[in-house]
Structure 1
Amino acid sequence: MKICGPKLSLCGLIISVWGIIQLVLMGLFFYINSVALIEDLPIDEEFNSVEEFYTAATSAYNQNAYNCWIAACIYVLTLLLSAQQFYVNSRATAN
Structure 2
Amino acid sequence: MASLLCCGPKLAACGIVLSIWGVIMLALLGIFFNIHSAVLIEDVPFTEEDFKDESPERIYRLYEQVSYNCFIAAAIYLVLGGFSFCQIRMNKRKEYLVR
Deviation at 1:4, TM superposition (A): 0.6
Q: Name the count of aligned residue pairs.
A: 93
Deviation track 1:35-62 (CA, whole Å, cap 9, x = no partner) reads: 11000011113633431xx112101110
Q: Which of 56, 59, 70 lines up with 1:57 in the alignment?
A: 59
How many angstroms apart in 2 are the aligned matches of 1:66 and 1:43?
Answer: 16
How many angstroms apart in 2 are the aligned matches of 1:58 and 1:74?
Answer: 25
The reply on whether 1:13 has 2:36 as its aligned counterpart is: no
Stretches of 4+ aligned residues off by more than 6 angstroms: none
Deviation track 1:16-51 (CA, whole Å, cap 9, x = no partner) reads: 000000000000000000011000011113633431
* Structure 2 unmatched runs, 5+: none
Letter matched to residue 91 of structure 1: R
The reply on whether 1:26 has 2:29 as its aligned counterpart is: yes
Instruction: Give the fraction of aligned pairs with identical amino acids, expressed as a percent.
Output: 43
- Root-mean-square deviation (CA, aligned residues, Å) is 1.2
How many angstroms apart in 2 are the aligned matches of 1:63 and 1:49?
Answer: 19
Greater radius of gyration (CA) = 2
Q: After the TM superposition, which residues 1-95 of structure 1 pair with which residues of structure 2 at under 5 Å, given as runs?
A: 1-45=4-48, 47-51=51-55, 54-95=56-97
Letter matched to residue 48 of structure 1: K
* Structure 1 unmatched runs, 5+: none
TM-score (normalizing by structure 2): 0.87
